[in-house]
Amino acid sequence: MSQKFERVQAGEKVFDWLLLLLSIAVLIEAYRIDGIPGLNSPGSFPMGLAVIMLASSLVILASHRHKRRDPRIRNARHEFQVFFHEHFQPHIVVFTLFAVAYLAAIVWVSFYISTFFFLAVMFIYFRQGRVVSSLIIAAVAIAVIYGLFTLVFRVYLP
């Protein structure tokens, strides 16, 4: 009689343990806000969320304990290579690098200029070089953002 086992993705069990460690760190930081809080104290909400996060990560770990790794994955090094290949594809890496640059650019340049350049570059990249239409789409998006936040909601964006 052969048993069918559910498969985990490459690196999934390592991610589960990292999630548990992060949950513990969040719980410690939440505790540092106000100790063991009462219901009205500033630390009650972060403590509650940290406990929920810790409980969720424990449930995930327990549910994945019987799952098996894909039999085609030979060892930990091969699992890392499969994980890297699946999760660090060029378009994801490019977008992440530009998103980090965009977040840094907001500090030095205005929100509207940095957002326009970010949208324009990303549209050009993902639309495979269609420059004119990408610039038009980015300009319309900035105009809508400006109209909504500045004129309608009267919110100042830096």
> Which of 79, 67, 54 has its CA nearest to residue 6?
67
**Structure confidence by residue, pLDDT tens digits, 103-131:** 999 999 999 999 999 999 999 999 999 99
Give 32-45 pLDDT, tens digit per residue.
887 776 777 777 88
* Three-class DSSP labels, 81-138: HHHHHHHCCHHHHHHHHHHHHHHHHHHHCCHHHHHHHHHHHHHHHHCCCCHHHHHHHH
Report the candidate in 4, 6, 15 with the shortest Cα–Cα distance to residue 86. 15
C-alpha distances (whole Å) from 25 to each of 20, 47, 53, 83, 94 are 9, 11, 11, 25, 30
Please tell me the predicted confidence (pLDDT) of residue 1.
46
**pLDDT score at 39:** 74
Residues of the chain with pLDDT under 70: 1-5, 37
Q: With contact defined as beta carbons under 8 Å apart, do 43 and 37 qualify?
A: yes
Task: Provide the pLDDT for residue 116.
Answer: 97
Which two three-digit tokens encode residue 1? 């009689």
Structure token digits, residue 92: 């994801």
**Residue 60, phi then psi, degrees to nearest 5:** -65, -45
* Contact (Cβ atoms closer than 8 angstroms) between residue 47 and residue 27: yes
